[in-house]
């Protein structure tokens, strides 16, 4: 019998799944998919889930992205949440706690707190503390425009804090206000000085594509834990500005070799988000390489869940749930929501060229937010995938 403590896992939790379970450790931090034999050997009792059919999705998300406020003073042109200033109406503290209780009861491990700008909620400290109290690991994405003693105190409760940064100095462009880069830079310096695990979220668009290596180099000079490159999405205000910000086909096709080159030359952990997976698959990477990047394609409504500041959940933060289902009812809705089901079932009847694509089970047809933007059709494949683009060109559907 394997004993978790004897292998150095003093702070861990297991959630049963039909295939076995998910092991979550906070020290060292990781999530691992383990089979039934592993759990039996570790002394865990049998789960009723081990005697049911695999439903094809997890018993709960592993991570929920919770926008705890719609409020944000930055006013960035491409904000994926369409966050704003004084008019925002958010859940009350008690309602936020009730949503967090629901997530904990379902067995969610991580909650990525964001907004809007989470620091603009006066009760953010109570929310962060409550996550820890009930055993959820909170992580934070912030614009880094304020990082005083209060904010550092809150950040100490986080597993990781990522500051949004899409360019350096005069290339910092998310809101274009004087001093914004300097404030984000100061925030990162303070986080590092306080010994808090910090990184950068860099939204990649046509505006900063030629600067992404500079941003990764900057992350190294600041001694940051990671930089995550996220594709600019047609969501919120970002939808209106998509023609101005979207990456070109040429950029999408050169993205993965460029990222490989950056990762090979710089000592910082590079991550890429789910919507970049078709850009990666275009280069036919071997399976071992995918494992190294720990990437998964569109996993909205399975590993991922988005929750808006209104309390409405959706399969991911970049998609709306037109049925406006409340996160307070997630324990039931997780299994019954038609919105979530459409995400999970997408690969069961995919259109070409995804149907014949070797990478379908990994990629899952690319980004639904991008497909909806271009085609107004949830069932269509991501037209920014180079394979899809070439297929559509052959069919004469693209000029």
Specify whether the CB–CB gap between 251 and 386 falls below 8 A.
Answer: no
Q: What is the phi/psi pair of residue 286, to 5°?
A: -65, 160
User: Does 363 contact ligand SF4 by CB under 6 A?
Assistant: yes
Contacts 24+ apart (CB under 8 A), 149-152: 150/125, 151/119, 151/187, 152/190, 152/191, 152/194, 152/196
Q: Which of 112, 274, 295, 307 binds ligand SF4 (CB under 6 A)?
A: 274
* Other beta carbons less than 10 A from residue 9's beta carbon: 20
Question: Considering the complex, what minimum distance in angstroms separates the CB of residue 218 from ligand SF4?
Answer: 25
Which C-beta is closer to ligand SF4: that of 159 or that of 278? Answer: 278
Question: Considering the complex, what minimum distance in angstroms separates the CB of residue 109 from ligand SF4?
Answer: 17
Residue indicated by tokens 């949830």: 378
Specify whether the CB–CB gap between 172 and 132 falls below 8 A.
Answer: no
Q: Which stretch binds ligand SF4 (CB under 6 A): 53-61, 76-84, 190-198, 379-387?
A: 379-387
Q: Which of 180, 275, 309, 337 binds ligand SF4 (CB under 6 A)?
A: 275
> Secondary structure of the chain: what % helix, strand, coil (to 5)?
40, 20, 40
Which residues within the stretch 304-323 sit at the binding site for ligand SF4 (CB under 6 A)?
304, 316, 318-319
Q: Which stretch binds ligand SF4 (CB under 6 A): 5-13, 207-215, 263-271, 296-304?
A: 296-304
User: Does 388 contact ligand SF4 by CB under 6 A?
Assistant: yes
Q: Which of 97, 121, 344, 368 binds ligand SF4 (CB under 6 A)?
A: 368
Q: What angle do CA 64, 232, 123 make, to 5 degrees?
A: 40
Q: Which of 281, 305, 307, 340 binds ligand SF4 (CB under 6 A)?
A: 281
Using CB under 6 A as the binding criterion, the count of chain residues that bind ligand SF4 stands at: 27
User: Does 81 contact ligand SF4 by CB under 6 A?
Assistant: no
3-state secondary structure of 258: helix
Which C-beta is closer to ligand SF4: that of 184 or that of 304? Answer: 304
Closest CA to 388 of 376, 377, 380: 380
Q: Which of 163, 278, 293, 340 binds ligand SF4 (CB under 6 A)?
A: 278
Which C-beta is closer to ligand SF4: that of 115 or that of 365? Answer: 365
Question: Considering the complex, what minimum distance in angstroms separates the CB of residue 318 from ligand SF4?
Answer: 4
Residue indicated by tokens 């789910």: 274
**CA 327 to CA 318: how far, in whole Å?**
16
Which C-beta is closer to ligand SF4: that of 238 or that of 365? Answer: 365
Which C-beta is closer to ligand SF4: that of 107 or that of 353? Answer: 353
User: Does 114 contact ligand SF4 by CB under 6 A?
Assistant: no
Question: Considering the complex, what minimum distance in angstroms separates the CB of residue 303 from ligand SF4?
Answer: 9
**List of residues 6+ apart from 113 with CB closer than 8 A:** 66, 68, 127, 128, 131, 138, 139, 140, 141, 158
Which residues within the stretch 38-57 sit at the binding site for ligand SF4 (CB under 6 A)?
none
User: Does 236 contact ligand SF4 by CB under 6 A?
Assistant: no
Question: Considering the complex, what minimum distance in angstroms separates the CB of residue 278 from ligand SF4?
Answer: 4
Q: Is the previous residue joined to 9 through a cis bond, with omega within 30 degrees of 0? A: no
Question: Considering the complex, what minimum distance in angstroms separates the CB of residue 392 from ligand SF4?
Answer: 11
Question: Considering the complex, what minimum distance in angstroms separates the CB of residue 340 from ligand SF4?
Answer: 12
**List of residues 6+ apart from 337 with CB closer than 8 A:** 301, 321, 323, 325
User: Does 367 contact ligand SF4 by CB under 6 A?
Assistant: yes
User: Does 346 contact ligand SF4 by CB under 6 A?
Assistant: no
3-state secondary structure of 98: helix
Q: Which of 142, 357, 373, 380 binds ligand SF4 (CB under 6 A)?
A: 357
Residue indicated by tokens 């860099």: 202
**CA 76 to CA 357: how far, in whole Å?**
37
The distance of Cα 41 from the centroid of its chain, to the nearest Å, equals 33
Which residues of this chain interact with ligand SF4, rule CB under 6 A?
274-275, 278, 281, 298-300, 304, 316, 318-319, 353-354, 357, 359-360, 363, 365-369, 381-382, 385, 387-388
């Amino acid at each position: 019998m394997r004993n978790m403590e004897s292998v150095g896992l003093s702070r861990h939790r297991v959630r049963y799944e039909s295939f076995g379970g998910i092991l979550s450790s906070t020290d060292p931090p990781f999530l691992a998919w383990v089979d039934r034999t592993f759990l039996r050997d570790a002394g865990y009792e049998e789960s009723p889930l081990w005697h049911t059919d695999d439903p094809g999705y997890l018993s709960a998300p592993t991570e929920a992205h919770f926008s705890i406020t719609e409020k944000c003073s930055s006013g960035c042109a491409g904000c994926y949440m369409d966050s704003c200033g004084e008019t925002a109406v958010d859940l009350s503290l008690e309602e936020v706690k009730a949503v967090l209780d629901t997530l904990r009861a379902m067995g969610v491990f991580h909650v990525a707190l964001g907004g809007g700008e989470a620091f603009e909620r006066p009760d953010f400290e109570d929310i962060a503390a409550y996550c820890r109290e009930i055993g959820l690991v909170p992580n934070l994405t912030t614009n880094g425009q304020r990082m005083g003693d209060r904010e550092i105190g809150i950040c100490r409760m986080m597993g990781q804090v990522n500051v949004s940064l899409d360019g350096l100095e005069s290339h910092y462009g998310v809101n274009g206000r004087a001093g914004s880069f300097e404030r984000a830079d100061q925030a990162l310096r303070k986080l590092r000085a306080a010994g808090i695990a910090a990184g950068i979220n860099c939204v990649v668009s046509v505006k900063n594509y030629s600067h992404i290596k500079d941003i990764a180099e900057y992350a190294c000079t600041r001694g940051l834990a990671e930089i995550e490159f996220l594709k600019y999405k047609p969501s919120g205000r970002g939808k209106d500005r998509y023609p101005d910000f979207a990456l070109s086909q040429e950029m999408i096709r050169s993205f993965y070799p460029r990222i490989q080159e950056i990762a090979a030359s710089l000592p910082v952990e590079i991550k890429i988000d789910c919507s970049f997976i078709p850009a990666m698959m275009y280069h036919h990477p071997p399976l071992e390489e995918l494992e190294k990047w720990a990437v998964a394609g569109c996993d909205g409504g399975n590993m991922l869940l988005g929750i808006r500041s209104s309390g409405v959940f959706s399969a991911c933060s970049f998609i709306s749930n037109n049925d406006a289902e409340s996160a307070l009812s997630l324990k039931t809705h997780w299994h019954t929501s038609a919105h979530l089901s459409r995400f999970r079932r997408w690969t069961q009847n995919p259109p070409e060229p995804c149907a014949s694509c070797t990478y379908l089970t990994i990629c899952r047809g690319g980004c639904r937010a991008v497909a909806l933007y271009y085609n107004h059709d949830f069932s269509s494949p991501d037209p920014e995938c180079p394979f899809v683009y070439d297929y559509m060109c052959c069919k004469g559907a693209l000029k």
